[in-house]
Chain A
Amino acid sequence: MATKRLMKEFSLVQKSIPSDSEYPNILTLQPQDTLFQWKGTISGPKDTPFEGYKWGLIIDIPHTYPSSPPSVKFANKICHPNVNFQTGEICLNILNQEHWSPAWNLINVIVAILQLLGNPEPLSPLNIDVSNLLKLGDMSAYDGLIKYYAVRYGLKDEDGILD
């Protein structure tokens, strides 16, 4: 079932990415050697400190998909309250078995991650330093720190897409 569904999703992705204007921040999304390993590239959403830079996503899909959620990690370092700075692990409730729904697909997951970039949740942080800044409401420090790491680790729009 997983393979069949992933085939369907692949054809859906091919149709809508990157041409579809509905998902302007999803630059690439494609399977690697198998249908159970995907890579994607997203660009920072408008009006967020991430704007203007790109990050890679590594997507591992369990064989029980879509009953179990895919696991998604950032490929390059990103400074965000809900992302582990060292490992790229993302704290997002729909990526937990408990809150996952099989009605979501990979595009929905990436849209959710893009939403998370603009709407951090400082109460369940994986990066305590930057989430403390957010909790204190020091937005200039928050934006500045994110920008600093974006310049350092993120890819510029002019760069090619991440492999």
Chain B
Amino acid sequence: MSEPLLSESSNQPKEDQVLPFADAPSIVRAHQKDSYFESVIRSKLLEVTQIFTGQRFVHTHPEELTVAAKALYLATTTLTGSRTLGEEYADLFYVTRSGKKLPKLAQRIGFILSYAILPYLVTRLIRKYFKRSNVDEDDGDEDDQEGKPKTWSSFLSRLTYTSVIDSLMSLHLAIFYLKGSYYNISKRLFGLRYSFGHTVNRNEAASNGGYELLGGLILAQLAFKLSNLIKDIHFTKLPEPHTSTDQEKDSEHRRAQFSAIPHAHASTAPRIDLSNEELLPYIPSASRNCMLCLDPMKDPCCATCGHIFCWSCISNWARENPECPLCRQDLTEQALLPLR
């Protein structure tokens, strides 16, 4: 646990005139309260937008609503200079890095923008970028075959945006747990540090305990991940050409598998037509007609109860009425078994 009292302020007249920096547990408590109130605001906002724009908009823009709720909550509290409910609950307030001044308006605006809106914008951009690059990748496969293994590019390709962000976040969290200074990266960026609104008894603070153990665990996990990654790259360096051809084979195999799946919606001729008596000879002639279309069955398929119908007849029926037309046993479309 970092020293709750400000040690660098030794040149200040009196140490106990400066309020102590908040410790990690209080910050986490305040944050939890705040996220609860954010979710309350979000659900209220949801109701209101639903009234004005309809259910569909609400369903298609859940992220936007979350961002709006977050921004609204912070704009009404932090931006106006008052404390959020969570901060009041834990008796915290923002101070500058040195802990001697209150943060300026520009700092607070910067924090709100980077905290509430920036992550959303970045994820949207990245998603767009990846959609495009995924299309490009298909062409890229053939180039790899003749090209020499490029360790660096393969290293980069492993680093997806989310994995990088995740490791950065957990690194930051580990630092927070160890030092207890900034809970969010954006708070660190704009120098918004929490300070207690009251003086803290040294003994009391020590007995509260901290999150150092958690921080250490996260760091260990990160180190393990990193070593794994390095090992992986090191080993795939040599057999790279092989793996790429393997991938090719694999994708060919997969393509073959896909083409083997009958196209249910294709209106082409049926694959199995029971008017041909040589097909599926174990079905007796009396049962070769579908009870639904009264014709010889086309693409016969079997329901879970054992009754046989044309694929198209029974799947049309099952979509609306999930029961067998003959015995009324439960019948779901996905449980139909094509006979061949």
Within 8 A of A (CB), among B296-334: 313, 316-317, 320, 325-326, 328
A67 proximity list for chain B (CB < 8 A): 316-317, 320
B292 proximity list for chain A (CB < 8 A): 5, 66, 102-103
Verify if B142 is at the interface (C-beta below 8 Å from A).
no
Q: Distance (Å) between the CB of B174 and the closest chain A CB?
A: 61
Q: Distance (Å) between the CB of A100 and the closest chain B CB?
A: 8
The answer to whether B328 and A8 touch across the interface, beta carbons within 8 angstroms, is: no
The answer to whether B293 and A4 touch across the interface, beta carbons within 8 angstroms, is: yes
The answer to whether A103 and B294 touch across the interface, beta carbons within 8 angstroms, is: no
Within 8 A of B (CB), among A73-128: 101-103, 105
Q: Indicate whether A103 sits within 8 Å of B293 (C-beta atoms), given known contacts A67-B316, A67-B317, A67-B320.
A: no
| Interface residues of chain B: helix, strand, loop or mixed (majority) | loop
In the complex, the number of residue pairs spanning A and B with C-beta atoms less than 8 Å apart equals 29
A105 vs B293: C-alpha distance in the bound complex, in angstroms?
10
Verify if A1 is at the interface (C-beta below 8 Å from B).
yes
Verify if A9 is at the interface (C-beta below 8 Å from B).
yes
B interface residue count range (under 10 / 10 to 19 / 20 to 34 / 35 or more):
10 to 19
Verify if B117 is at the interface (C-beta below 8 Å from A).
no
A5 proximity list for chain B (CB < 8 A): 292-294
Q: Indicate whether A103 sits within 8 Å of B316 (C-beta atoms), given known contacts A9-B294, A66-B292.
A: no
Q: Distance (Å) between the CB of A104 and the closest chain B CB?
A: 8
The answer to whether A102 and B325 touch across the interface, beta carbons within 8 angstroms, is: yes
B316 proximity list for chain A (CB < 8 A): 67
The answer to whether B295 and A4 touch across the interface, beta carbons within 8 angstroms, is: yes
A66 vs B295: C-alpha distance in the bound complex, in angstroms?
13
Scoring A residues 17 to 44 as 1 if CB is less than 8 Å from chain B, else 0, what string do you get?
0000000000000000000000000000
Within 8 A of B (CB), among A121-147: none
Interface centre among A9, A67, A105 (most CB of B within 10 A): A67
Verify if B219 is at the interface (C-beta below 8 Å from A).
no
Residues of B bordering A, CB below 8 Å: 291-295, 313, 316-317, 320, 325-326, 328
The 4 closest A-B pairs by CB, nearest first: A103-B325, A8-B294, A101-B325, A103-B291
29 contacts between A and B (CB under 8 A): A1-B293, A1-B313, A4-B293, A4-B295, A5-B292, A5-B293, A5-B294, A8-B293, A8-B294, A8-B295, A9-B294, A12-B294, A66-B292, A67-B316, A67-B317, A67-B320, A101-B325, A101-B326, A101-B328, A102-B291, A102-B292, A102-B313, A102-B317, A102-B325, A103-B291, A103-B292, A103-B325, A103-B326, A105-B294
Given contacts A1-B293, A102-B313, A103-B326, 12 further A-B contacts (CB under 8 A): A1-B313, A4-B295, A5-B294, A8-B293, A8-B294, A8-B295, A9-B294, A67-B317, A101-B325, A101-B326, A102-B325, A103-B292
